[in-house]
Structure 1
Amino acid sequence: MAHPESRPQPKRELLRDAERTRAEVLAVATEVFAESGYSGARVDEIAQRTRTTKRMIYYYFGGKEQLYLAVLENAYRGIRDAEQLLQVDHVDPVVAMRRLAELTFDHHLDHQAFIRLVSIENIHRGAFIARLDSLRSLSQPATSLLDEILGRGRAEGAFRDDVDALDVHIVISSYCVFQVANRHTFGFLFGVDFTDLSQRARMRRMIGDVVVGWLTTR
């Protein structure tokens, strides 16, 4: 006979099941919204591609719009979480800045649905993201980390002092987004395959060179 303490707790099991289901729905919904946009995405399709029902999706998220907002928030949270895992407290600021640029590059290429979602949201003129006040505070760590690295670099005389964190964030983000957003058009026009591993490695080094070179130029 099993010991009473070894038996699973029903409420805990239900909670874990709910968390797993919610995570699965978010992952699939991210792909569907990224593929079809907000207007083209169908909750029925998301339900078919998961182990749940349309009714349960509405139960967890409230509706299509609320699901899309959850997808947006989760996508932005992904890059912020990745940045916070970067340990650069005791790293040379030049090396730290290069690592941050390369991490951002890797994350964008490994999470291309995120870029498509951002593009779709800009097509809608930010109509949905404007409802997510939480993203303002969520984005603060990005510039805070850059401020920290820039501050140490300036103190050591390595970085110029006329560039701020938002400037650097714009340069890195623009470059990384370009690799995904313009992959097909740029590839066709210039015969460049951004998915080629050697090309990816080269472009990864390039963003590090660009940012470090810019910041260390007087």
Structure 2
Amino acid sequence: MSTSIEPNTAKRPRNRRNPEATKASILAAARAEFAERGLDGGRVDSIARRARANKQLVYYYFGSKDELYKAALEASYSDIRSLERELDLAALPPREAMERLIDFSLDYLAQHREFIRMLADENAHGARHVRNSDAARQTNSPLLELIAETLRRGEKDGIFRMGVDPLELYISIAGMTFFYFANGLTMSAIFGRDLTQPTALASYRDHIVALTLAGLRP
């Protein structure tokens, strides 16, 4: 259930020296808090302490804990999509473009385990926050178009088969990369191979690149 303060305590705070910086600090603190503890375990008091901000400011800028959680998710999606756009896949030959996308997915998740935890938590809550988020949908659409354009170029060059669905391909790449990090510790324990080692990750990278490109061949 959404938690918000009473209307009479939500008045415009005074003496805000840098409102944009304060808001950004609160959002960063929220992302850290929710990544560690999830929506249910995360606390607004703790977020305010992390941000070194008055608790009143948290509610003033974001309205409720649920809305802050939604904003944290949107910011996480926005970050990864912004970096994906910087890959400039259109400037690369189709095979290299696909390889770079896989490399990026692996590297990003290796360095941002908080993104994995936040997505897992949102799925546990039925994706109710991103389902109603225009911002999340808008950040994902350009990525699918980049993949679709890369597929079209590969089809034209005769190196990719016809009719590959861009969304299905993205889900496949995301699944192979996401699962590796989301379940790496349990798989390492079960199969007796330390998948956290750089050599293991490099080997897995080569494997999924080969698997993806083989699946795209005519």
Question: Which consecutive aligned stretches of 4+ in structure 1 deviate over 4 angstroms post-superposition?
Answer: none
Q: Give the counterpart letter for 1:90 in structure 2.
A: A
Are 1:47 and 2:23 counterparts?
no
SS in 2 for 1:89: helix
SS in 2 for 1:128: helix
Residue equivalent to 1:179: 180
Unaligned runs of 5+ in 1: 1-13
Q: Percent identity?
A: 38
Distance 1:74 1:164 in 2: 27
Residue equivalent to 1:60: 61
RMSD of aligned residue pairs (Cα, Å): 1.8
* CA positional deviation for 1:183: 2.0
Mapping 1:1-218, distance limit 5 Å: 17-216=18-217, 218=218
Distance 2:210 2:132 in 1: 37
Distance 1:194 1:78 in 2: 26
* 8 Å CA contact 2:26, 2:58 repeated in 1: yes
* CA positional deviation for 1:207: 2.4
Normalised TM-score (structure 1):
0.86
Distance change in 2, residues 1:25/1:96 (3 Å): same
Q: Which moved more, 1:20-29 or 1:53-62?
A: 20-29
* 8 Å CA contact 2:97, 2:150 repeated in 1: yes
Distance 1:40 1:137 in 2: 29
Residue equivalent to 2:3: none
* 8 Å CA contact 2:89, 2:146 repeated in 1: no
Distance change in 2, residues 1:195/1:62 (3 Å): same
Normalised TM-score (structure 2):
0.86
Q: Give the counterpart letter for 2:152 in structure 1.
A: G
* 8 Å CA contact 1:43, 1:54 repeated in 2: yes
Q: Give the counterpart letter for 1:127 in structure 2.
A: R
Unaligned runs of 5+ in 2: 1-14
